[in-house]
Amino acid sequence: MSTDDCKNFIESIAEENNLKKKDKWKRVKKYKEGELVLRDFENSTGDVLVIAENKNGKLSLHSLNKETQLPQEIKASLGKEKLLTEFFKLIVNVHRKDHSFKTDIFDSYCYYTKLDGGGISPEALVAYLDNDDQSLIEKEVKNIKNKTEIYPGHTLIYQLEDFDDRLSNIMGNNFVSDTHPDKVGILYDKENCYMYLEEKEGISYLKMECGGDWENPVMAFIYWSEKENRLKGFFPKGDGNIYNQETATAYGSEFEKIDMSYDDPRRDKLELKYENMMVEIEENADKYYPKAEKIGFKQLKEYILKE
């Protein structure tokens, strides 16, 4: 059975399944399941359709997973300006609660990051600090572009981390506590954290990439929750993220969870297995991470829709 035969079949079932006949479908996978040959097709909007072929060559629709579309009223609250304004306001609010928070956020550090496109001016932060005037913040965040690294992110994550129960209790729920390893059930370190603005389908979020020097980084997303009136964190699971699903850890931290002595004869074999998995991901990061983020973004939309 050719790919063209499958595409003709998709066209024949399009109307009854509310699919556009002019959609372009690409075969992404072919595999067997019992006596059936299954072919996965995906269109440009992310819908996934699985066609089954029986032993007689007859085609049937095995499954259809349509991409989640958020209503416009929900999308309206997920814009870049709101997200970034609340992010930089949070920096100021942390400073108000804990004056040990790095003061360079308010001077040279913020100035240089503004030049790179990933920050705002000290004047904008001070205006909000002194007078609760957020107008300068709102104006400046409009110039921050998609894919830009948000440089103050790591410092803010560090301050909100739950390592000493200070700010986490003072500030209440925050995106760091939402994505804490104990809460999400995946062990990873926040020694290195990077944050990037992402804009897709009218939805803006901050992508965190976190991991220790010995780990492949995992991803988490930050978005503005209108319902909870705060920045909220979401940790994609399964194929929507990059971590060792056998051990529920970042690649590189497996033996933080596995109770196995160094002289156990099984350890060398297991270490080699996980090391090879880690190297495979490192060497092909451009393939694995975008694919995972695409699935993770779909999970995020489903999560927001259920709020």
Mind listing the pLDDT tens digit for each residue in 212-235?
A: 999 999 999 999 999 999 999 999
pTM given for the model? 0.80
Average pLDDT, the chain: 85
Mind listing the pLDDT tens digit for each residue in 221-271?
A: 999 999 999 999 999 999 999 999 999 999 999 999 998 888 888 899 999
Domain with CATH 3.10.450 in the chain: 3-65
pLDDT recorded at residue 254: 95
Neighbours of 26 (CB within 10 A): 11
DSSP state of 66: P
Domain 3-65: give its CATH code: 3.10.450
User: Two tokens at 56?
Assistant: 């007689």
Nearest alpha-carbon partner for 68 in 227, 291, 306: 306
N-term to C-term CA, the chain: 43
